[in-house]
Structure 1
Amino acid sequence: MLIVTGLEAGYGKSRVLFDINLTVADGQLVTLMGRNGMGKTTTVRSIMGLIRPTAGTIRLDEEDISRASPERVARLGVGLVPEGRRVFRTLTVRENLVATSANRLRRAEPWTLKRVCDLFPRLGERINQRAGTLSGGEQQMLAIGRALMTNPRLLILDEATEGLAPLIRAEIWSCIERLKGEGQSILLIDKNLHAVKPLATKHFIIEKGRTVWTGTSAELDADHEQTSRYIGL
Structure 2
Amino acid sequence: MKNQVLDAAQRNLSSDFMGYEGQKVAYIGKDDPSLSFTGNGKSFMNEDAGSKSYSITVSNMGNAADDRVLALHPGFLTELADMTDTAGNPAAAIVADGAIIEEVDKQVICTGKPKKISHFKAFVNRNPTRFTGLKMQVNNTDQFDEAITVKKISPFQSLGDDTIEPGNYKTSNQTDDKRVEIPLEDFQLDDQTLLVFTLKAGRSVTFTFVSGAIKNQAAELHTKAAIARGNVRRAI
Bigger fraction of residues in strand? 2
Fold-level match, TM-score > 0.5? no
TM-score w.r.t. structure 2 length? 0.27
Scaled by the length of structure 1, what TM-score is found? 0.27
Higher helix share: 1
